[in-house]
Chain A
Amino acid sequence: MKLDSLIPAPLRKPAKPGEGNGAKGPAPADLKSAPPERPSDTKRLTDRAVEAPVDVLAWVDQRTAASGFLTGMLYRKVPKGTNWFYTLGSATLIAFVAQAITGVFLAMFYTPSTTQAYASISHINNEVFLGALVHGMHKWGSSVMVILVFLHMGRTFFFGAYKYPRELNWVIGVVLLILTMTMAFTGYLLPFDQRSFWASVVGININGTGPVVGPYLSDFLRAGPELGATTLSRFYAIHMLLVPGAIIALIGAHLYLVVKLGTTAPPWVHAEKPKGATPVAQLDAGAEGNGATPAS
């Protein structure tokens, strides 16, 4: 209850039916015969101070009407049987956010130039305070994100959560998977050491084996017939400007649909039978259920 007073009324968790005190509160005391004692100035100031953050939130809420959206999103119903597998999507989101944050700080030290890229990475790893840690988080975090994306996809598939009406969310998820792979591929070249150079050569050449358009796509990725200086800046721009923007936009659409459509129950949880319902087998045998006549 103490905590509840810190949350603006519109943001409070709505009471369950039968638990609230209804529209009218308890009857007011007889104010004439027993007027309430005036609280001390200190107490009133403290009360105001405690309420200040509430007032600020209320001020924002009055101008944005965000509380309706937030309560709808935060207190939405989830089906019975929701379990730890349902956290894989959030885990992927957290992995992406970690990549975004570490990436922004890596970009402050990284130089996307063929002659300085490797030196700038060594500088990050060997001289910048905690540089090796931030770079390591970004490097290993990328693998974590790819793995989580696939686990999340597997959960969705095996729980049948891609079915009507959630097909579009599956499609958006597949696009997000492709974009994640694009991030992993373009990010691999950036250190510009032997491993990343030759891995990118091989990757671009695999891409070029697509008939008819493959060779042109390779030229587009390399910005020319051979992997060169413009390839690195091109990959850098794709890696930190083009794809992250697309990913953020699509994550927004993905989450909107999750909230809008709700999540699915695991396949082993079934809807409860209404009381007094006749089993389907008996209906087929001609029995009457709930007063309805079975189709003949």
Chain B
Amino acid sequence: MSDETDKQNGAEARARPQRPQPEPPGYFEGESMTRRRAFTVAVQGLGGVAGAAIVLPAVGFAVAPIFHRGKERWEAVGPVGDFVEDTYRQVVFTETEGIGDAGKTTAYVRKGSKLFDEDPKSFIAVSNRCVHLGCPVRFVEAAGNFICPCHGGVYDFQGKRIGGPPVRPLDQFQTRIRNGQVELGPRYSVTSQLEPVRARDPGEFTGGIWEYLYPPRPSTFPPPSG
């Protein structure tokens, strides 16, 4: 076939009358979408559903602990007579089960004192976890203060901050008396006025607007009323 015929054939093809073109191009009459486009959307949608079916449960599995509150746990730490109102007694009990010694925590326990307008039949259990960054504080008998070894946080006899970087008073544990024994329960935090609020992590302020900036977590227990 010569070049000449080629050119002529091409001219004929161009000259042939065109089929009526749908408007918009590629669509049949009355269609809002071409077949190809419909299949593309359908397959991509199916892929999205399949992907979500794998990813969503995995994410939920990883995030679920945020919304899970463990069982309330109470542990006896000694007979009522062991505790006095003018000094603390150090007790060790299990706060997190299943990890051996690492799950234990220390609390300083005393009787309620009229000096601070407390019920003399109640017991106060102060956590030794520094509210700066979580180091263990110790009660220094001679000074009547709690002192943190890490960054120099100092708390008074009631656990209120009197020096250093901590942001609020020391946390406390709920207390109750069963069978003549003092029992310690869930942790709660306090505001600078020692009003109980839900437990916060160290470094987080409590009270006022801070209750919204550091919202209470679903994994913590409600504070004791009153």
* Cβ of B182 to closest chain A Cβ, rounded Å: 22
B213 A211 Cβ-Cβ under 8 A: yes
Binds B, one of A2-10, A18-26, A164-172, A219-227: A219-227
Query: Could you tell me the distance between the alpha carbons of A33 and B57 in the complex, rounded to whole angstroms?
Result: 82
- Interface size range on A against B: 20 to 34
Tell me the nearest residue of chain A to B66, going by C-beta: A219
> From residue 210 to 254 of chain A, which have CB atoms closer than 8 A to chain B?
211-212, 214-216, 218-220, 222-230
Query: Could you tell me the distance between the alpha carbons of A241 and B103 in the complex, rounded to whole angstroms?
Result: 26
Q: Residues of A contacting B216 with CB < 8 Å?
A: 215
Q: Residues of B contacting A215 with CB < 8 Å?
A: 200-201, 204, 214-217
Tell me the nearest residue of chain A to B216, going by C-beta: A215
Tell me the nearest residue of chain B to A234, going by C-beta: B62
Binds A, one of B92-100, B109-117, B153-161: B92-100
Task: From A197, A208, A230, give the contact of B201 (CB < 8 A).
Answer: A208
Please judge, given known A-B contacts A201-B134, A206-B133, A218-B201, whether A115 and B95 are in contact too, CB under 8 Å: no
* Cβ of B60 to closest chain A Cβ, rounded Å: 12
Q: Is B181 an interface residue (CB 8 A)?
A: no
Task: From B62, B98, B203, B219, give the contact of A208 (CB < 8 A).
Answer: B203
Tell me the nearest residue of chain B to A192, going by C-beta: B102
Q: Is A143 an interface residue (CB 8 A)?
A: no
Tell me the nearest residue of chain A to B151, going by C-beta: A202
The binding surface of chain A is classed by DSSP as helix
Query: Could you tell me the distance between the alpha carbons of A206 and B202 in the complex, rounded to whole angstroms?
Result: 8
Please judge, given known A-B contacts A215-B204, A216-B217, whether A224 and B68 are in contact too, CB under 8 Å: yes
* Cβ of A202 to closest chain B Cβ, rounded Å: 4
B65 A223 Cβ-Cβ under 8 A: yes
Q: Is A198 an interface residue (CB 8 A)?
A: yes
B203 A205 Cβ-Cβ under 8 A: yes
Q: Is A114 an interface residue (CB 8 A)?
A: yes
- Interface size range on B against A: 20 to 34
Query: Could you tell me the distance between the alpha carbons of A131 and B122 in the complex, rounded to whole angstroms?
Result: 55
A202 B135 Cβ-Cβ under 8 A: yes
A212 B213 Cβ-Cβ under 8 A: yes
* Cβ of A196 to closest chain B Cβ, rounded Å: 11
Q: Residues of B contacting A198 with CB < 8 Å?
A: 134-135
The binding surface of chain B is classed by DSSP as loop
Task: From A114, A216, A224, A227, give the contact of B100 (CB < 8 A).
Answer: A114
Query: Could you tell me the distance between the alpha carbons of A225 and B150 in the complex, rounded to whole angstroms?
Result: 22
B71-102 interface code vs A (CB 8 A; 1 in, 0 out): 00000000000000000000000011011101
A228 B202 Cβ-Cβ under 8 A: no
* Cβ of B154 to closest chain A Cβ, rounded Å: 18
Q: Is A71 an interface residue (CB 8 A)?
A: no
Task: From B66, B70, B99, give the contact of A216 (CB < 8 A).
Answer: B66
Please judge, given known A-B contacts A214-B204, A224-B68, A225-B219, whether A205 and B102 are in contact too, CB under 8 Å: no
Q: Is A209 an interface residue (CB 8 A)?
A: yes
Question: Taking each of B63, B68, B99, B220, which has the highest tally of chain A beta carbons within 10 Å of its own beta carbon?
Answer: B99
Please judge, given known A-B contacts A114-B98, A114-B100, A115-B99, whether A219 and B62 are in contact too, CB under 8 Å: no
**Which residues of B does A touch, CB under 8 Å?**
62-63, 65-66, 68, 70, 95-96, 98-100, 102-103, 133-135, 150, 199-204, 213-217, 219-220
**Which residues of A does B touch, CB under 8 Å?**
114-115, 192, 197-198, 201-202, 204-206, 208-209, 211-212, 214-216, 218-220, 222-230
With A115-B99, A202-B150 given, name 7 new contacts (CB 8 A).
A114-B99, A198-B134, A202-B133, A205-B201, A205-B202, A212-B215, A223-B65
